[in-house]
Structure 1
Amino acid sequence: MGHKTLSKQTNRLAIGTYFFIAGITFASWASRIPDIKQKLELNDAELGGILFALPTGSMVSLPISGWLVAKLGSRTVMLLAALCYPLVLSLLGTADSVVILTSLLFLFGLLGNMMNISVNTQAVAVEELYGKSIMASFHGIWSLAGFTGAAVGTLMISLGFIPLQHFLIVALIMMAMALIMKFGRMPKDAVTGNQPIFVKPDASLLKLGLISFCCMAAEGTMFDWSGIYFQKVVQAPPSLVTLGYSAFMGTMALGRFLGDGLVLRFGRKEILQASGGIIAAGLLLAVFFPSIVTATIGFLMVGFGVSSVVPIVYSQAGKSEKMSPGMALAAVSSIGFFGFFIGPPLIGFIAEAFGLQWSFGIIAILGFGTTVLARFTKFKS
């Protein structure tokens, strides 16, 4: 019994470490977007266009990732992605042209979502070992890593480190962590063999995907544009440009560590309905009152609002009775991550035409869609 408990704890620690690797790798890129934008002398529309490389890589990766997990097992795919994802981060620091940056972002999006599908498939397996909801805690680690990445980014900027130096340090540390923790991974997935690359989600998975889409459009906007919003609209001093992003990541991490308890107390549907309202209210507060204090409070609200949505959706998708966890997660993520990556480029085009505040207002309306859709969705216990 003691050995079994130790094994569960080891598995949970290892998979949590891989969530941390995924979170800090992406956050490191996000924290230096304003610097890279300035380095390449891009306007908002040009940056938005380049950011389309991320959703393209994401959407190419998602069906392939689900297929690879079904064929090779999430254990193998996760380790490969955990080594290659930080490696491409370091290469992003070398980008000195639009073509190179766009190409690397495509690869970064592809590997990021390969990491996402495989690590969440592993998390579903660990959750089954515990026999209770622990998915939110894994995503809490991802968010904590994002908060850490933002803080490290702020430190690197203040110390005068260029993006290449910053990214290389992070990449080497994360790759070492991936190798150290590889022995605690879950075994090869039970469901393997002949699986189609493209899977059409059933009605229940489609609803979960649309809920994820609405939430993740807001989440992607915060990752890619929060620093620029504080820079251009809030007009924060350089030392406080990352304040909004840090506030968002901090409450998202806190909300995810509290998420399993909140779901147990109030229910999945109720939490999702409340989440959409909090997302919309936080964004609108930052839009109508763009001072440092009120915008920071608004971004704190958005972080808490998005915190529980993805863990609930992924946990439910992993319980699908019609396809393997990896394929179900890929199907739902194909919809949700389209929102995550289509939001930021959309922001760029709307901002160039009407202003950054208007574009954030539109994302607030979309975020409220989480509330509306959750009302018409059934959830398994």
Structure 2
Amino acid sequence: MTTDATILRSHRLGIAGAFAVQGLLFISVTTRLPRFQERWDLSELFVTALLLMVVLLAGAGSVLAEAGAKRGGSAHVLRVAFTLIAIGLALVAVAPTRPVAIAGLAVYGLGLGGVDAASNMQAVALEHRWGRTILPSFHGAWTLGGIVGSVIAIAASNLSITASLLPLAVVALVMLRAPLLPPEQTAGADAPPTVAVDIPWRRIGLIGAAMVLFYMVDTAATTWGPVFLKAAHGAPGWLLPMATLPYLLASGATRLVGDGLVDRFGSVRLLRVGAVVACLGLAVVVFSPTWPLAVVGFTIVGASVAVIAPLSFSAAAVVAGTGVDEASRRARVDAVIARFNQFNYVGGLLGAVLTGAVGQDNLRLGFAVPMVLVLLILPLAGVFRAEPAARHTSA
């Protein structure tokens, strides 16, 4: 048992590392969007098109990850996806022309989707073996990686894109040696169910809609926040990552205390209060007269919406596994998690594209979109209500 526990802890560290590196790389790229704009002389509309391309390719990468996991396991898919990210970042870093840079972003987007899907497959598989819910800690690792990425972006603000991105490509390659769950251990989690299961997709779709709204807000803040500080307030280049860093710090703090908040207030109340507070925080951003006040707004938003994503995955697992035996519960949860990640990219699409398209002449208008839409969480929060006995507490 001691050996088994040690092995599980090793796998947990490796999977958490995958989440952390993903957060590091994603934030490192998004905080450099203003630099990409300057280097390649891109308009807000062109940047919007690039973000659309990355989001769509990430969705494709997620679909391919599901198919790949059925054959070689999610650990193999995760390593291939990190290799694609490394290649994409290297291409962007050394690109002599705009088309080469765009090609690099395309490869990066494909790898990003694969990492996102496969890391969640690994996390759920380990959660089954661990015996209790541990998914929020993995999302916290993503946030921690994003915080490190923001700090690095600030420290490396005077470096060229080449000098700042090439080391990140190396970091992606380091993950090839991470102690992930091997295929024979994840086969049950990654493989499709062998028997027909009655999955309540309608309720799971409503939970997914809440996650769409979260990623819409999250992507708007992390992707367009630095551009907003520059376009709306003329903030100096070294300060642009400040739109993202406080947001991530607040998100990380909320996720650290998220389990206790859910126990005290319940998921439904926590989500509804978070939606209202997020709306107010985005209003601060939209109407901010100075960049420090805009940063305060982004911080409020991060603190208010951070638990939506992990609660969404947990709620989907609860709904999928309620009222069935262990074998059927595993089949249901595995089938749901393999597809649930797609809601991520719908939200990313709305956050990146709607914010940029509506705000191409004035980003304040762009941020007004998530400010209004986040309130849709108020009616959706009720679907997160579940009896305590129905919650997943054992593998």
User: What is residue 173 of structure 1 aligned with on the other side?
Assistant: 171
Superposition RMSD in Å: 2.5
Q: Quick check: 255-264 or 301-310, which moved more?
A: 255-264
User: What is residue 346 of structure 1 aligned with on the other side?
Assistant: 354
Q: Which residue identity lines up with residue 160 of structure 2 in the other structure?
A: I
Kept in 2, the 8 Å contact 1:70–1:326? The answer is no
Structure 2: distance between partners of 1:45 and 1:334: 25
Structure 2: distance between partners of 1:100 and 1:50: 13
Provide Cα deviations, 1:131-171, integer angstroms capped at 9, x if missing partner: 222211111110110111011011111xx321122111122
Question: How far 1:48 sits from its partner (Å)?
Answer: 0.9
User: What is residue 215 of structure 1 aligned with on the other side?
Assistant: 214
Kept in 2, the 8 Å contact 1:279–1:367? The answer is yes
Unmatched runs of 5 consecutive residues or more in structure 2:
322-328
Structure 1: distance between partners of 2:245 and 2:304: 15
User: What is residue 101 of structure 2 aligned with on the other side?
Assistant: 101
User: What is residue 263 of structure 2 aligned with on the other side?
Assistant: 264
Kept in 1, the 8 Å contact 2:60–2:113? The answer is no
Matches within 5 A, 1:1-381: 1-157=1-157, 160-176=158-174, 178-182=175-179, 187-191=185-189, 202-319=201-318, 320-321=320-321, 325=333, 327-353=335-361, 355-379=362-386, 380-381=390-391
RCO (CA 8 Å, sep 6+): is it higher in 1 or 2? Answer: 1
Kept in 2, the 8 Å contact 1:78–1:115? The answer is yes
Q: Which residue identity lines up with residue 83 of structure 1 in the other structure?
A: T
Kept in 2, the 8 Å contact 1:93–1:165? The answer is yes
The alpha-carbon distance between structure 1 residues 130 and 271, as it changes in their structure 2 partners (threshold 3 A), is farther
Question: How far 1:33 sits from its partner (Å)?
Answer: 0.8
Question: How far 1:228 sits from its partner (Å)?
Answer: 0.9
The alpha-carbon distance between structure 1 residues 174 and 368, as it changes in their structure 2 partners (threshold 3 A), is same
Kept in 2, the 8 Å contact 1:276–1:367? The answer is yes
Between Structure 1 and Structure 2, how many residues are aligned?
375
Secondary structure of residue in 2 paired with 1:258: helix
Provide Cα deviations, 1:257-281, integer angstroms capped at 9, x if missing partner: 2222322332222222222222211
Structure 2: distance between partners of 1:330 and 1:183: 18
Structure 2: distance between partners of 1:139 and 1:193: 23
Kept in 1, the 8 Å contact 2:92–2:102? The answer is no
Structure 2: distance between partners of 1:41 and 1:265: 50
Question: How far 1:68 sits from its partner (Å)?
Answer: 2.1
Provide Cα deviations, 1:33-58, integer angstroms capped at 9, x if missing partner: 10011111111112112221112202
Secondary structure of residue in 1 paired with 2:62: helix
Kept in 2, the 8 Å contact 1:231–1:241? The answer is yes
Unmatched runs of 5 consecutive residues or more in structure 1:
none
Q: Quick check: 238-247 or 333-342, which moved more?
A: 333-342
Kept in 2, the 8 Å contact 1:19–1:142? The answer is yes
Question: How far 1:224 sits from its partner (Å)?
Answer: 1.2
Structure 1: distance between partners of 2:17 and 2:72: 21
Kept in 1, the 8 Å contact 2:154–2:241? The answer is yes
The alpha-carbon distance between structure 1 residues 205 and 97, as it changes in their structure 2 partners (threshold 3 A), is farther
What is the TM-score with the length of structure 2 in the denominator? 0.87
Structure 2: distance between partners of 1:96 and 1:306: 39
Structure 1: distance between partners of 2:27 and 2:258: 21
Q: Which residue identity lines up with residue 365 of structure 2 in the other structure?
A: W
Provide Cα deviations, 1:271-304, integer angstroms capped at 9, x if missing partner: 2222222221111111112323321111111111
Provide Cα deviations, 1:154-189, integer angstroms capped at 9, x if missing partner: 1111xx32112211112213322x133236668223
